[in-house]
Structure 1
Amino acid sequence: MKEFVEYILQFGNLNKQQIDLISKKGFELILHKDDYFSQAGKIARQVGFILEGITRVCYYNNKGEEITKYFIDENNLVVDIESFENEICSSAYVQAVTDCRLICFEKKDWQELLDTIIGWDTIVHKMIAKALIQKVERRSPLVSEDATERYMKFLKIYPNVANRVPLAYIASYLGITQSSLSRIRKNIR
């Protein structure tokens, strides 16, 4: 919980009682590799903060191919915000790529924090704004860039991810085949 408290304090000030209440509402969740945090077709019911591990946001295209949109690693929020806030079915999956340890909040507890803690809504909006900016920055790169440039950009955006996730997910994120990615990696070593 200490990591989450440090994270939220970047976005605003809270007193000890407020931090204690937040700490009481959060619980630790372990996701094993390939488990889902949230799923397409279901309503997202939790907000998570990744303490350890990597998740990915993915979907299936109209050809039935699995596409990785982006990755979320340590010290970041993980939530399908549109589904969570509007109680609508999600259009994507959030899946653990590695074993993950998260601090989570159920929707009712998150709402209680919003209703109880003065200024919590402002902190939440700032956290979500940061996450949305990261999401846009980390989205699958444009296909107009050449594959090597896309991979180099991936390494800059996700310095802690490249050696921890399957190449198939990285290739999917980059919009290339796994064999193309292997060639690129071999050529830049």
Structure 2
Amino acid sequence: MKQLFDFILRFGNLNQQQIDFISSKTVEINFSKDEYFSEAGKIAKQVGFIVDGILRVCYYNNKGEEITKYFIEENNLVVDLESFDNEISSSAYVQAVTDCKMIVFSRKDWLELLQTIVGWEAIVHKIISRALMQKVERRSPLVSEDATTRYLKFLEIYPTVVNRIPLSYIASYLGVTQSSLSRIRKNIGKV
């Protein structure tokens, strides 16, 4: 729980009573590797905070190929925001890439926090803004670069992730085949 509040308090102030109230609305859940936090075609019903582990956001293109959009690691909130806020079916999957330990809020409890705690909405807005900025920063440099540069950038963006997740997911994220990624890694001399 300390990790969650260390994270939240970077975006605003809460008193002990507010912290206790927020704590009372959480549930600790473990997700096994490959299990889904939320699924395409379903409405996202929870907000999670990753205590330990890595999730990925992915979808299937019109050829039925699985595409990894991005990864979310420890000390980050995770939610399919559009689905959660608008109660519409999600277009993406959020899947555990490793075993994950998470602190989770149900939609009902999250909305209650927004209505009850003064300043909670401002904190949440700052967290979401930061997440959106990160998403853009992490994706945009990868679009126009060659595969080797994209991989080196990936190592920069996700330094703690590379040795913890399957190469197939990294290849999908970079938009290359797994054999191309293996060649790139070999040429770079990274393991």
TM-score (ref. length: structure 1): 0.98
Shift of 1:135: 1.5
Equivalent residues in 2 for 1:102-117, closer than 5 Å: 102-117=102-117
Structure 1 partner of 2:161: 161
Identity %: 75
Distance of 2:143 and 2:124 partners within structure 1: 33
Amino acid at match of 1:59: Y
Instruction: Classify 1:154/1:134 alpha carbon distance in 2 versus 1 (closer, same or farther; 3 Å).
Output: same
Structure 1: where are the runs of 5+ without partners?
none
Report the 3-state secondary structure (helix = DSSP H, G, I; strand = E; otherwise coil) of the residue aligned with 1:139: helix
Q: Is 1:126 the counterpart of 2:126 in the alignment?
A: yes
* 1:132-173: CA deviation from partner (whole Å, max 9, x where unpaired): 111112237544311000000000000011000000000000
1:16-73 C-alpha deviation (Å, 9 max, x unpaired) = 0000000110110100000000000000000001000000000000000000000000
- Say if 2:171 and 2:177, in contact at 8 Å, map to a contact too: yes
Q: Extract structure 1 runs of 4+ deviating beyond 6 A.
A: none
* 1:144 match: 144
Once residues 173 and 97 of structure 1 are traced to their aligned partners in structure 2, the CA distance between those partners, rounded to angstroms, is 13
Aligned to 1:183: 183
Give the paired residue count: 189
1:22 maps to 22
Structure 1: how far apart are the matches of 2:177 and 2:143? 13
**Which one is further off, 14-23 or 139-148?**
139-148
For 1:76-116, what per-residue CA distance to the aligned partner results, in whole angstroms no more than 9, with x for missing partners?
11100010011010000000000000110000000111111
TM-score by length of 2: 0.97
Residues of 2 paired with 1:144 and 1:45: CA distance? Answer: 35
The aligned amino acid for 1:29 is: I
Q: Distance in 1 between matches of 2:138 and 2:115?
A: 32
What are structure 2's unaligned runs of at least 5 residues?
A: none
> 1:141·1:174 contact (CA, 8 Å) conserved in 2?
no
